[in-house]
Chain A
Amino acid sequence: MARKTLSVLLMDPPYESNNTPTALRVIDAALRKGHNVNVFAYEGAVALTLKGQAPHPNPVKGTTVEQQQHPTPKDWIAALMKSVQGDQKIDWINCGLCVDERGAGDWIEGARRGSPADFAKMADASNQTLVIATR
């Protein structure tokens, strides 16, 4: 299958919407098929790659942090970044102004800063683009 490029715009912050795991499933599926993926994180979605996300225990269920195995979106995204093979690419751009207004600039390795113009360039260079907006 010829390699194609998918671009995805995300807008929801972590832990707020099931749009995010669904979008990451789409991205995972595209990467597993060998395609390239671009992601533009806009507004609250810039927090998805925050390095400081930490798993916690669940006092309601009486579980320790080890038992709870609480997932963090930044670990999911890091796993997606590590999953690329050979010259396959995943390019993750966080909206710079969204980052500044939130003070949300401490990211995992692999994310970079950009602007809506970068999203437009991504879309131009892609076979398909998905905008998954906040509702």
Chain B
Amino acid sequence: MAKTLSIVECAYRGTIEEQDDTVLWFNQAMVNAGFEVDVLLRGNAVNYAVRGQDVSGLRFGAASLDNPPHIDKDVEWFQAKNRTVYVVAEDLADRGIDRAELVEPVKVVPRAEVARIVTGYDRVYNW
């Protein structure tokens, strides 16, 4: 079976309304269907790996968001399925995110290593 790497860069686009990130969700669905899909977070999407994100309590008039997104949990989900989640180190540093803040165990990699990682996959999708 072909191995796929999904590179996720666009972040927090519709995540409140969708209750998740639609790109991570799409990749979760592929994994659930039996496909080998790993994820590489870069750019603003590196924040998805930060532990303890909480948007609960959101209300518009009397309408409340009772089931908010838990994107850090969605990142952990891939590990639970024995899939790898890479995070680009320089993109963390640019945003002042310390590795200790990340969910375990994502794989923090230097930007210079991304090209080598890509060569290990049959398909690479850039989202």
Closest Cβ of chain B: how far from A21's Cβ, in Å? 4
The residues in A between 32 and 91 inclusive whose CB is less than 8 angstroms from any CB of B are 58-60, 67-73, 75-83
- In chain B, positions 7-58 with a C-beta closer than 8 Å to chain A are 12-20, 22, 25, 28-29, 32, 58
Nearest A residue (CB) for B26? A60
Q: How large is the interface on B (under 10, 10 to 19, 20 to 34, 35 or more residues)?
A: 20 to 34
Chain A interface residue count, CB cutoff 8 Å, equals 31
Chain A residues positioned under 8 Å from B65 (CB to CB): 71
Assembled-state Cα–Cα distance A72/B25 (Å) = 18
- Which residue from A15, A67, A79 sits with its C-beta under 8 Å from B60? A79
Contact indicator A75/B18 (Cβ below 8 Å): no
Is B14 touching A18 in the complex (CB atoms < 8 A)? yes
A76/B63 in contact, CB under 8 A: yes
B62 at the interface (CB under 8 A from A): yes
Q: Is A60 in contact with B60, judged by CB distance below 8 angstroms?
A: no
Q: B58 contacts which of A17, A25, A27, A70 (Cβ < 8 Å)?
A: A25
Whether the pair B17, A14 counts as a contact (CB closer than 8 A) is yes
Contacts of A18 in B (CB 8 A): 12-16
Contact indicator A21/B19 (Cβ below 8 Å): no
Docked-complex contact A58 and B19, CB < 8 angstroms: yes
Most buried by A among B16, B19, B28: B16
Q: Provided the pairs A58-B19, A60-B28, A60-B29 are in contact, do residues A79 and B62 lie with their beta carbons within 8 angstroms?
A: yes
| Chain A residues whose C-beta falls within 8 Å of the C-beta of B66 in the assembled complex | 69
Is there an interface contact between B61 and A15, defined as CB atoms closer than 8 Å? Answer: no
Contact at A79–B63, with CB atoms within 8 Å? Answer: yes
Q: Return the contact of A76 from the options B18, B32, B60 (Cβ within 8 A).
A: B60
Question: A-B pairs with the 8 shortest C-beta distances?
Answer: A79-B61, A83-B61, A79-B63, A76-B60, A21-B16, A69-B67, A60-B28, A15-B14
